[in-house]
Amino acid sequence: MYNAGKVITGIIIFLIIVLSPFWYNGLTGKTAYVPLLKVPDTAKQCVESTQYMKENHMELLNSWKETAVRQGKKTYTAKDGKTYGINLTGTCIKCHANKEEFCDKCHNYAGVKSYCWDCHNYPKTGAWEQKTAGSRK
């Protein structure tokens, strides 16, 4: 190999630069960061188990939308037989009143944008009208 020293040094420098976000986060201890959610103490369990909600809340909310809006059925029967009103503001937000500390924590961390709140209401915790203004592109 010609110029082995230069090539290998170049590759090492290239890797250091390209992987710099990983080094940086590893050195500053940010890789260990896990968003901790403020879970309400008003109820012991959400409509389904915590694990199920973590993994499937988006499918559940989507099916709630379909059932309530398109089929006109306004109640949901959970796996344990309990019934809940299908209502994002009335059921979900009744417990999870602090959107910033609950929805946004994970969604910001994962970089997932939801436009639920462009239309649906939640209790005012800030200047939310301005924040949501025209956010749906």
Partner 1 sequence: MNRREFLKVAGLSLAGLTGWQTFNLLSGGAFAKSLPGVQNSVQKQWGMVVNMEACSRKAGCNDCIDACHRIHNVPDLNSPKDEVKWIWTASYDKVFAEQDHAFSNKGLKNRQIIVLCNHCENPPCVKVCPTKATWKREDGIVMMDYHRCIGCRYCMAACPYGARSFNWKNPRPFIKEINQDFPTRTTGVVEKCNFCEERLAKNLLPACVEACEEKALTFGDLNAADSELRRILNTKFSIQRKPHLGTQPKVYYTV
Nearer to partner 1, 47 or 88 (CB): 88
Considering only residues 6, 44, 70, 79, which one is a binding residue for partner 1 as defined by CB under 8 A?
70
Rg (C-alpha) for the chain, rounded Å, is 22
Q: Are 7 and 14 contacting, i.e. CB atoms less than 8 angstroms apart?
A: no
Q: Which of 33, 35, 115, 125 binds partner 1 (CB under 8 A)?
A: 115
Residue 33 CB contacts under 8 Å (≥ 6 apart), including other chains: 109
Separation between Cα atoms, residue 127 and residue 81, nearest integer Å: 39
Q: Which stretch binds partner 1 (CB under 8 A): 2-10, 14-22, 97-105, 121-129?
A: 121-129
Least separation in angstroms between residue 120's CB and partner 1 is 5
Distance CA 37, CA 34 (A): 9
- State whether residue 85 is helix, strand or coil: strand
Q: Pick between residue 1 and residue 127 the one whose CB is nearest to partner 1.
A: 127
**Does 112 engage in binding with partner 1 (CB under 8 A)?**
no
Establish if 72 lies at the interface with partner 1 (CB under 8 A).
yes
